[in-house]
Chains A and B, each alone.
Chain A
Amino acid sequence: MTTASHTMQGLASAKDLFALTKPRVMSLVIFTALCGLLAAPGSIHPVIGFTAILAISLGAGASAALNQWYESDIDAVMKRTSERPLPAGRMDRETALHFGVGLSVFSVLLMGVAVNWFSAIFLAFSIFFYAVVYTIWLKRSTPQNIVIGGAAGAFPPAIGWAAVTGDVTLMPVLLFAIIFFWTPPHFWALALFMNSDYSKAGVPMMPVVAGRQSTRNQIFGYSLVLAAIAIAPFALGLTGLVYGVAAIVLSVVFCALSVSVARSKTTVPEDMVAEKRLFKFSILYLFVLFAAVVADRMIVA
């Protein structure tokens, strides 16, 4: 590589810096954080509420940048991730690290100064959890990586809630638990039809380590736990009928799709229709369920 191209790498384009924040993942973070914020009792000034969501989004972007900084070697051998700025050679690792650390510090300070320090510490912990506990420690060492690491993605609604109330009660814990137990069936469905990518990269994803059938059975098991947790806010009287009906209908469909996955025997990724259907539905499931939390709260209010 010439010095000139090194220089260009050192001056990454704004587009690549933006790509480093995993904008598609961020959209889910923004949405769940916003739902947590809107579902919380009490009120928050729109400017402060906007700042809280901005800080959570920047924190999520920072975690994603640090994740890509550390995982550039894995990303380079996986088809799905090989075009990211670092493995594609459009940015150097130092730039990604500086961007990630800088954005982390800024997001936490913004949350602390503008919103409250409880949610700022919460946000700092979530960045640490994703960047260090999940990315550096768990991902390469255990097939339980995304089970425990899923907690990182589950923090945003609880942080959004904490931005309004300054504390955490049972409802945000349940919102956290919904995403926590949603993550394994969501990611393992993806890992089943992306199996070759993960094995090539040496990432101990469940299908690589325990095999496809065991993963399919675990997807079904987690779907049952997820259904119980998703219905819990209604069963405990924390939400109304709107959320209750949505949670029951969505969870029944989710469980039905995970039964099809558990029954599937195919080993060819192209034929994994049930897995692909569950993966797509899981995204819709989370969006509609969290929208129902907000709709329910609005109706009650």
Chain B
Amino acid sequence: MSEIDESKAPMSSEEQKAYQARQKHRSVILAGILGFMVVLFYLITFVKIGSSS
């Protein structure tokens, strides 16, 4: 990410911090969503296997 930005106009340190904070926040939320999907697909698989047998 920083390589691309430096090749254009570098961000100030405040902007860099805000950017990283947003990136971290998005990553945490994405991890939560992925975890939720793993559990959901696990349950769906159980229901599907149960109903077909």
Please, which residues of chain A bring their CB within 8 A of the CB of B22? 8, 11, 13
Interface of B (DSSP majority class): helix
Given A47-B44, A48-B44: A7 and B25 interface contact (C-beta under 8 Å): no
Q: Is the pair B9, A11 in contact by a Cβ cutoff of 8 Å?
A: no
Please, which residues of chain B bring their CB within 8 A of the CB of A24? none
Interchain nearest-CB distance for A186 vs B (Å): 32
Q: Is the pair B47, A13 in contact by a Cβ cutoff of 8 Å?
A: no
Given A7-B19, A8-B19, A45-B51: A114 and B44 interface contact (C-beta under 8 Å): yes
CA distance A3 to B23 in the complex (A): 17
Tell me if B15 is interfacial: C-beta within 8 Å of chain A. yes
Given A13-B25, A14-B29: A7 and B44 interface contact (C-beta under 8 Å): no
Q: Is the pair B18, A51 in contact by a Cβ cutoff of 8 Å?
A: no
CA distance A210 to B23 in the complex (A): 49
Interchain nearest-CB distance for A37 vs B (Å): 16
Please, which residues of chain B bring their CB within 8 A of the CB of A114? 44, 48
Tell me the nearest residue of chain A to B4, going by C-beta: A7
Tell me the nearest residue of chain B to A45, going by C-beta: B47
Tell me how many residues of A have a C-beta within 8 Å of chain B. Answer: 15
Interface residues in B1-48 by Cβ distance below 8 A to A read 5, 8-12, 15, 18-19, 22-23, 25-26, 29, 40, 43-44, 46-48
Interchain nearest-CB distance for A236 vs B (Å): 33
Tell me the nearest residue of chain A to B25, going by C-beta: A14
Tell me how many residues of B have a C-beta within 8 Å of chain A. Answer: 21
Interchain nearest-CB distance for B36 vs A (Å): 10
CA distance A8 to B15 in the complex (A): 8
Interface of A (DSSP majority class): helix
Interchain nearest-CB distance for B46 vs A (Å): 8
Name A47's contact: one of B5, B19, B25, B47 (CB within 8 Å). Answer: B47
Interface residues in A32-52 by Cβ distance below 8 A to B read 45, 47-48, 51
Please, which residues of chain B bring their CB within 8 A of the CB of A11? 19, 22-23, 26
Q: Is the pair A7, B5 in contact by a Cβ cutoff of 8 Å?
A: yes
CA distance A299 to B11 in the complex (A): 63
Please, which residues of chain B bring their CB within 8 A of the CB of A48? 44, 47
Please, which residues of chain A bring their CB within 8 A of the CB of B44? 47-48, 51, 113-114
Interchain nearest-CB distance for A10 vs B (Å): 10
Interface residues of B (CB under 8 A from A): 5, 8-12, 15, 18-19, 22-23, 25-26, 29, 40, 43-44, 46-48, 51
Interface residues of A (CB under 8 A from B): 2-4, 7-8, 11, 13-14, 45, 47-48, 51, 54, 113-114
* Extra 17 A-B pairs, beta carbons < 8 Å, given A4-B5, A47-B40: A3-B5, A4-B9, A4-B10, A7-B5, A7-B19, A8-B15, A8-B19, A8-B22, A11-B22, A11-B23, A45-B47, A47-B43, A47-B46, A48-B47, A51-B44, A113-B44, A114-B44
Enumerate 10 A-B pairs (CB-CB under 8 Å) in ascending A order. A3-B9, A4-B5, A4-B11, A4-B15, A7-B5, A7-B19, A14-B29, A47-B43, A47-B46, A48-B44
Q: Which 4 A-B residue pairings sit nearest by Cβ, starting from the closest?
A: A3-B9, A3-B8, A4-B11, A14-B29
